[in-house]
Each structure stands twice: as C-alpha cells, then as structure tokens.
Structure 1
Amino acid sequence: MKRASVAVIPAAGFGTRFLPATKAVPKELLPILHRPAIEFIFDDIVGAQIPESVLITSENKSALAMHFSEAPNLESHLQSNGSEHLLEQHQNLLSNTTIKYAIQDRQLGLGHAVLQAEQLVGDRPFAVLLPDDILLGGSSFLTKMLAVSAQLKGSVLALKRVPPDMISRYGVVSASQIAANQYRIHGIVEKPSIHDAPSDLAVIGRYILPPTIFHILRSTPSGALGEIQLTDGIAKLIESEPVFGLIVEGDHYDVGTPQGMLACALTLGLEHAEMREHLLEIFRKWSQK
C-alpha cells in the first residue's frame, strides 16, 4: 500500500457533552490552555508530513473554516503591536498542510462521516484522525503508523489496552502479536460488553486505511439507528486485506469528555514553564482546605 498522502478529520458532531458551550462554538475549537483542541490533531498531521487534510464538518460549524482561514485585519493588528508570535504556531500549521472541507449533513455514524471524504481522497490511501483523541509525548505517532503500514504493506489501527470498565466505550480487536507493540488484527467488534470483548485492545482514534474502504462502507448495512460504523467496514476489510495494530506511545486523552479535556489541560499546564507554578500554588491552597 502506498504512503497515505491525505488525512481525514471527522468533526461534524454536535458536541452535546459540552453544552451549552458548544451551542455556538464547535467542540473542536474549545481551548486546551491557549490552543483549540483540533490544532493538536494537526500537529500530528504536519509532524507526519501529510500535505493535505479533509475536514468533515457540518453547515452549523462554519467557525472551523473561519479558524483555518486567513485573518488579515488580526495579523495587521498583531504586527503593529509587535505581537506576531502569538499566531506563529497557528500559521505554521496552515503553511504545512492544505485543508479542504466536506459536509456531513446528517450524523449517521463514523463510517458515514468518512464516506463524505471519498471524492476528495479519491484512490489514495489515507489517514483518519478523530479530534477527540489527543496523544501527547514524543514525536508524531502518526509517523510511526505510516512506517508500519509501509513495512507490513497493510492498514494500521492505533491500539491501547483499556481496563474492563472502559471496554464498552471502544471498538475492540482480536489480534495476535507479531512484534513489540505490533499486532495482526483478525477481527473487530464495536463497543462490546466485558463478556463479549475479544481482548482488552481498543482502537484509539487513528487509522491508516486503503481507498477500498469506501466501497466497503457504501455496501455496509446501517445499524439499528441508521448509522454506518467504520468498525463494521474494517471488519469486512480484514476478510480481504491485512490489517495491523500498533500500541500507542505517550499519553492518550479523550477530550470528547469534560473530564478528559481537563486532564489534558492540567498535564500541559504542568509542563508549561510559566503555568506550572500557578497550578502548583492552586493545588497547595486546595490541599490546605
């Protein structure tokens, strides 16, 4: 399989866990410290040198496109105040990947969201990155997934071992280990119960997939809620093509929940030279109450 040259980011959801904050502001633009959550996803894309991205959004989330567009008035204001550095990190992202957009007009599952990128992706292998899953620490994990895909000539899913009480939140794989942190995947089940789970290896928001997945998804029956699940498409893909798994490195945060976003923000804050002492002082005050 050729190297993935485009990344797909499904971001059309309503973000109901963060209401009322997400009534007007997309969940993906909520700040983790001073940066919108979605920029951490683009860090991974740019770090992996993927030159093109497709952002799957909805008609009521135009703020996402605005965030990634040029802002000449703001840039001129910052230049006049000698504050250009405030946008430097953001502009570096924009200069290193081309962002295109596709609309998902109905929320019919992750597989349906990925299908909206078909025309823009075409016949190229591609990466899928879920904005809820942020990986911190070390170099771009996506780069390592691409290397495994090239070495083993197949699709690659990011995996993480999860405790029993979290099994039902994820797609879970049956797999056999083939090398350190690498697995050959034999099957995948969407959100199984503890008793039905084939293992404790959960799929964590990063995928390297072939363009053949689009045909599979189009022919995948929708579930009880009318949704097309990416997990079901991958289960079908496994029948005809090799699919591998790579254990995630670094810290994983599910910022699709307020608790996960807080944990991610605290971690980054404690690693930040200026914010660390402020946070530690807050913790000291609370410990004395």
Structure 2
Amino acid sequence: MCGREKAKVTKCLFPVAGLGTRFLPVTKEIAKEMLPLVNRPIISYGVEEALASGCSDIIMITGRAKRSIEDYFDRSFELEQLLKARGKDELHDMVVGISNLAEILYVRQREPLGLGHAVLCGEPFCRGEYFGVVLPDDVFVGDVPVMSQLIDVHDRLGGTVVALERVPRGDVSRYGIVRSEVVEGGIHRILDMVEKPSVDEAPGEYAIMGRYVLSPSVFPLLAERRLGAGGEIQLTDALRRLAETEPVWGVVYQGRRFDCGTQKGWLAANVQLALEDPDLRKVVLDVVKASQ
C-alpha cells in the first residue's frame, strides 16, 4: 500500500453556504455556523481542528447571510480599543487572537446546488493539490483531531481519505454509505458508496462523516455537474467514480462526534459539553434539578 501518490495538505475548504432551514427563524439573517456551542461559535471548532492538523489556508465557501462568519474572523478595532481602555487585557488578547488564527479566504457559492458544487467552487484555490474539507455541522472532540487522523493516513498511503462511522441500519438514509474492506486496524479501502440510500439499497453500515482529504482529480468529475440525490451535485457520487481509478481510504475516526446540524443535536451538544466544563456543570445540573 505504500508508494501511492501523496502531497502535503495545507488547504482546507469549509462549505458554509447552506440556508440552515432546520434552525429557522434564527438563521434567516444569522449564519447557522455562528450559533454558539458553549463559549464559541460552531464554525470555530472546525477551524481550530484544521489548524491543529497542519492546514494553514482556510477557504470558506459562503452564501447569502454569511457575513457574520467573515466578521467573526476579521479585526474589530472598536472592540479591541474598548477592551484595552477598560483594562480587560485577557479579553482583548482573545479577540485579537481570533482574527490572527489563519489566512482565511472567501468565495460565494451562487447557487444552492449541493455539497459537490460547493467543493467545486473551491477549485481555484486548490487546483493541483490535495486538500481538506470540513463540514462544520459535525463537531469532533478527542485527543487527536480527526482531520489530523485523515492526513496521517494520506501521508502514509496517499490518495483520498474520508472519515467513517458505523451507524445503525435504520439511519443509513441520512448519510453517504460505503462498501469497503478492512486493510488494517481502523482503515478501510472503499470499493463503492451511495448517497442517502434506503435500508435495502445500502452497501454497508459505515457512513462518511464530515471530514475529507480529497484528490484534485475530484474537480473534473464534479465539473460534469451530474445531479444525484435531491437533485444536487453530490460529492459522494464523484468519489464513487474516483474510487475506480484512485485509492479512496476510509478511517474509522477516534473521538466523539456531535451533530450540530439539527436543533436536537445542537442542544444536546451544548448540554454535554457544558457538563464537561467545571464552571458550567453545576449550572446545568441546578437547572435540571429545578425543573423536575
């Protein structure tokens, strides 16, 4: 398995142009990715993960009502000066630090044509290079960043790498499901995949979760603009075809995943992470106790 084509991964795409309809009406004008997850917005968890994994360039694929994401990672001179004048040096340094996290570029996805189309919008920034993709709705917590786990496999084996999780059979219609063979502990060679199949059509029980290291060869496949599930350009469909000519690996990631793409998942993540914060645990428990 060694000796495959490989290259250093330094760029990471964040498709964040979705309308966030599951969170309406709050997402009518506020980006879903800016909803708070305990003490910072959802988007920051993915950005910090990418940076901790060695990615230096962050590319946001944005849409309407996503200006708040740009503002969050930009300088806020008025706020910085106010905090400095009031002697709040720790808060000042934190605010400045957010704007200095990374080199962040923005490009608009002008049509809501699906995840595959969003990735295609990033081609001018990643042409000819392997690159990461983070879907910020999936927040991962663990000792080793999930993106780093994927990059490690890419560095060793080359090729495209995706994060995998075994899901209940009844949930397969929510994900891209793969057919694969285990090549070593936690690493699969992906042979086939189907986007949101029915239970009867699912080729397996391992689902692709929101982390990818992609070959630039995926761009010509996406550029054909073939429509898949939901009438959208599906990344899974392009990867299925890519696997016919290049290795596509799946990594059963180590860590915990919080699905912040639904109200129930987002609320559960806030409660769980707050319970793990020494300063917030008592607050949550007191509220629960008082409501009983």
TM class, shorter-chain normalised? over 0.9
* Paired residues for 1:148-167 under 5 Å: 148-167=153-172
Could you tell me the percent identity over the aligned residues? 36
Distance 1:90 1:153, change over 3 A: farther
Per the alignment, in what secondary structure is the counterpart of residue 265 of structure 1?
helix
Counterpart of 1:169, as a letter, is R
Q: Could you list the per-position Cα deviations for residues 188-238 of structure 1 after superposition, in whole angstroms to 9, with x for gaps in the alignment? A: 100011111111100000000011111111124223754211011100100
Per the alignment, in what secondary structure is the counterpart of residue 253 of structure 1?
strand
Partner of 2:232: 227
Contact 2:146 2:211 in 1 (8 A): no
Distance 1:39 1:19, change over 3 A: same
CA RMSD across the alignment: 1.5
Counterpart of 1:237, as a letter, is L
Partner of 1:198: 203
Of residues 100, 105, 109, the one that matches 1:95 is 100
Q: What is the distance in 1 between the residues matched to 2:250 and 2:93?
A: 35
Partner of 2:185: 180
Counterpart of 1:5, as a letter, is T
Q: What is the distance in 1 between the residues matched to 2:236 and 2:80?
A: 43
Per the alignment, in what secondary structure is the counterpart of residue 273 of structure 1?
coil
Pair 1:269-2:274 in alignment: yes
Q: What is the distance in 1 between the residues matched to 2:99 and 2:243?
A: 35
Per the alignment, in what secondary structure is the counterpart of residue 207 of structure 2?
strand
Q: Could you list the per-position Cα deviations for residues 123-163 of structure 1 after superposition, in whole angstroms to 9, with x for gaps in the alignment? A: 11100000111101212111111010111111100000111
Of residues 220, 230, 243, the one that matches 1:238 is 243
Per the alignment, in what secondary structure is the counterpart of residue 149 of structure 2?
helix
Counterpart of 2:24, as a letter, is L
Distance 1:225 1:168, change over 3 A: closer
Per the alignment, in what secondary structure is the counterpart of residue 272 of structure 1?
coil
Partner of 1:20: 25
Of residues 118, 132, 138, the one that matches 1:113 is 118
Partner of 1:260: 265
Per the alignment, in what secondary structure is the counterpart of residue 274 of structure 1?
coil
Q: Tell me the CA shift for residue 278 of structure 1.
A: 1.0
Count of aligned pairs between the two proteins: 287
Tell me which moved more, 238-247 or 222-231: 222-231
Distance 1:93 1:161, change over 3 A: farther
Of residues 79, 84, 97, the one that matches 1:74 is 79
Contact 1:158 1:248 in 2 (8 A): yes
Per the alignment, in what secondary structure is the counterpart of residue 202 of structure 1?
strand
Partner of 1:35: 40
Contact 1:220 1:232 in 2 (8 A): no
Q: What is the distance in 2 between the residues matched to 1:90 and 1:194?
A: 47
- What TM-score comes out, normalization by structure 1 length? 0.95
Q: What is the distance in 2 between the residues matched to 1:29 and 1:254?
A: 15
Q: What is the distance in 1 between the residues matched to 2:162 and 2:95?
A: 28
Q: Tell me the CA shift for residue 87 of structure 1.
A: 5.6
Distance 1:87 1:190, change over 3 A: farther
Distance 1:202 1:122, change over 3 A: same
Q: What is the distance in 1 between the residues matched to 2:20 and 2:12?
A: 21
- What TM-score comes out, normalization by structure 2 length? 0.94
Q: What is the distance in 1 between the residues matched to 2:92 and 2:146?
A: 25
Q: Tell me the CA shift for residue 34 of structure 1.
A: 2.1
Contact 1:47 1:139 in 2 (8 A): no
Q: Could you list the per-position Cα deviations for residues 82-128 of structure 1 after superposition, in whole angstroms to 9, with x for gaps in the alignment? A: 32433645644543421001100110010001011111222111000
Per the alignment, in what secondary structure is the counterpart of residue 283 of structure 1?
helix
Q: What is the distance in 2 between the residues matched to 1:227 and 1:157?
A: 20
Tell me which moved more, 94-103 or 171-180: 94-103
Q: Tell me the CA shift for residue 81 of structure 1.
A: 2.1
Q: Tell me the CA shift for residue 250 of structure 1.
A: 1.4
Counterpart of 1:180, as a letter, is G
